[in-house]
Structure 1
Amino acid sequence: MNDAALFDEAFGQLDDDGREQLDLAAASDPSLADRRARFRGALALLLDSDDPEPPSDLAARTTARLRRHAEEPRILEFAPSRPRARWVDVGVAAAVMLIGLMSLVPAVRHQQQSVSKLMCTDNLRQIGLAMSQYAATHHTFPYVDPSCPASYVGAAFVQLNEDGLLHDHRTLDCPCDGTSRTTEQLPQFAELLGRERHRPGTCREDIRVDYAYHLGNVHPTTNRPIPLPFNVDNRVPLVADQPPFRLDRASSNGQGSGVGGVILVGNSPNHAGAGQNVLFTDGRVEWRRTRWIGSFDVDVYLNQSNLTRPGVHFRDAVLTPCVMRFRD
């Protein structure tokens, strides 16, 4: 017999045959008889009393259980005790943080240099677009005859500005040169010429540009300097980051002081000597780790004779700082 028969008997749901079988089973099974008696007593207590009395030993059993629970180990007792903070520990933590920050500095600096190099590339592309528009109109790239007193290489950018092709003067400043100086405005060529006639060499400050420009070439027949023609081979260097140079007091035409200069060894200081961006006549800009362009142009800053003079042929580009002169 199972407990279901006890429930049925208690609630009057058990028939005579079932009750008889339950009696026989209880007579032969003392445990069943005991469960039957306790079940009847509990049911009678529940149904017949509105305020049942709790067992007499309930309080003692509850107290004993609470005492046993208090004596059991708690999970916090297994946690290590917190030691007191020491200045040594603080110093070690600070050192670790400082080393971590210092390891980030080269990465941040490299990222800034990469962004600046991209900005320099964009400057040259904008300059190349202005140069191409000028050459399409004048059939040559900007150039000032060496016999002119204001024949500075930077005057080529003055010509671009006067033709309304140089929309943002900030493109003349390389963001990698380590200075925050920007070109606010360029003078008119007539103003530049007047200053140069009055005080030779003083107008260099008006045309300071961070890029070097093409010096021109020598005519194959007359041996006279000529500007770079518009229909030249599309792979000729036109503008680049300026080279390391030194100005001297030499004069190529005997008209005054402050007109000479020397191109020094090494890459452009604009990028800390790592290389230079070079703009070609087809409008593309390439990063060069050396001054070598090819067998036809071994040094983008000097001609094939290793001089700061016009190129000996059309593919021999000589890019000169803007504070130096066009000269033969």
Structure 2
Amino acid sequence: MHEDLLGYLLGALEPDEMQRVSDWLRDNPEGREQLAEIQRCLEPLEQCDDVVNGPDFDGPSEDLLARTLAAIPDGIPPMGETSDSPVKPPAPVMLTDVDLSGEAGAGGNRWNMMDSIGGLLSVATLLALLLPTIAAGRFEARKVACEDRLRRNWNALMQYVYRSEHGRLPEVAESGPEAFAGMFAIRLADAGLLDEPDLRWCPSADLPAFAPIGDSTLAEPTSVALSTLPSVQSLHQMSVNELKQVQQLAGGHYAYTLGVIGDQGFSSPRFEARASFAVMSDAPLGPASHADDPGKLRFSHSGQGINVLYEDGSIRFIRAEALDSMPDHPLFNHHGASEAGVNIDDASLSPSWRPPFTISIQR
């Protein structure tokens, strides 16, 4: 199963195998621990992601081979010499001429040093060629794992819609303790539809530090604490600090629709299976609140872009440089603000803590 878990983590399995491992992990806590351990072992590769996946990385330079050959010390006879060459080719070395005792003279030590240098250069060349491929596979595997979590969140959202009297997505209140984007996770959990709260965390982003409710000191995140969601009713009994913490953590790494303004005023979107209406995505890592200030927007997935989940269940990876050219920016409404959509077809997604309007009172 270790091979299957590694293949699952790297996205190297067939679709049916990916689903089989995903189902097995859902019912097997020990399997999830093994997967987490494999992820920890691969973490040293993460420091290479920003380099090999960044915009300034062009792969191995064209002169890599020439520079490698130039680094080999003089004295190694060139290959391919012929009788017409002005340089007389060296006499062949016979096996009987080689001192295997380990006590060779200066010449033997010289060749041993050359062998070591040549071997090191060969390893360095191979690493330079293979590292981009390994890092790219790591990036793709995490992106696929994020897509899988978004798809399972979509399944929970659809079950919520089918149970809803008016066929609407989970509601974000206009004001009060329920006025923040992360309410979708709390409503799903209250309805018994979020059986795996870990679905709120993207594999490409680090888990946040948090303060346990009622404690003012930061602690290391634990899977138990980060997977605990309060009930909707309990939000109204929380202190200001407790409520603020819930607002920060409830939606995890994902952004959710803040709602829309229709003929009847503000409400959650009615489900219509639209292929162009975004309902969830990777949340931006920066605090930008307006489309005119994109410099503050940072993204997971090595900063390359975000996975966006649409109402029809499709998921698309949108490159960071392509977001501003989209007809309906998934992270801002048509007025360029990080607020609720200005009409029923205006998708606007925000991180867990953000209210639907700048003037919304959250307590």
Normalising by structure 2, what TM-score? 0.58
Change (3 A) 1:188 1:199: closer
Distance 2:121 2:148 in 1: 41
For 2:139, give the aligned amino acid.
Q
Which residue in the other structure is 1:114 paired with?
140
Counterparts of 1:113-262 in structure 2, within 5 Å, are 113-138=139-164, 139-179=167-207, 183-196=226-239, 201-220=244-263, 222=264, 224-231=265-272, 233-246=274-287
Residues 98 and 294 (structure 1 numbering): CA distance in 2 closer, same or farther, change over 3 Å?
Answer: closer
More displaced stretch, 138-147 vs 190-199? 190-199
Moved more, 263-272 or 113-122: 263-272
The structural deviation recorded for 1:236 is 1.0
1-side partners of 2:134 and 2:207: how far apart? 19
Name the residue aligned to 1:81. 97
Partner of 1:4: none
Question: Match of 2:331?
Answer: 301
Question: Are 1:212 and 1:321, in contact at CA under 8 Å, matched by a contact in 2?
Answer: yes
Q: 2:126 aligns with which of 100, 105, 123?
A: 100
Instruction: Confirm or deny: 8 A CA contact 1:195 1:202 kept in the other structure.
Output: no
Partner of 2:308: 278
Does structure 2 conserve the Cα–Cα contact (< 8 Å) formed by 1:244 and 1:265?
A: no
* C-alpha distance 202-121 of structure 1, shift in aligned 2 (>3 A): closer
* CA RMSD in angstroms, aligned pairs only: 2.8
TM-score under structure 1 length normalisation: 0.64
Deviation at 1:200, TM superposition (A): 5.4
Q: Which runs of 5+ in 2 are unaligned?
A: 1-91, 99-106, 209-220
In 2: Cα distance, 1:77 partner to 1:321 partner: 71
Does structure 1 retain, via aligned residues, the 8 Å contact 2:181–2:350?
yes
Q: List runs of 5+ in structure 1 lacking aligned partners.
A: 1-75, 248-260
Amino acid at match of 2:137: Q
Q: How far, CA to CA, are the matches of 2:340 and 2:230 in structure 1?
A: 26
Count of matched residue pairs: 236
Structure showing greater radius of gyration is 1
Give percent identity, aligned residues only: 22
Kept in 2: contact 1:150–1:196 (CA 8 A): no
Deviations 1:36-75 (A, max 9, x none): xxxxxxxxxxxxxxxxxxxxxxxxxxxxxxxxxxxxxxxx
Letter in 1 for 2:234: E
Deviation of 1:190 (Å): 2.0
Q: Measured at CA, do residues 116 and 142 of structure 1 come closer, stay the same or move farther in structure 2, by a change above 3 Å?
A: same
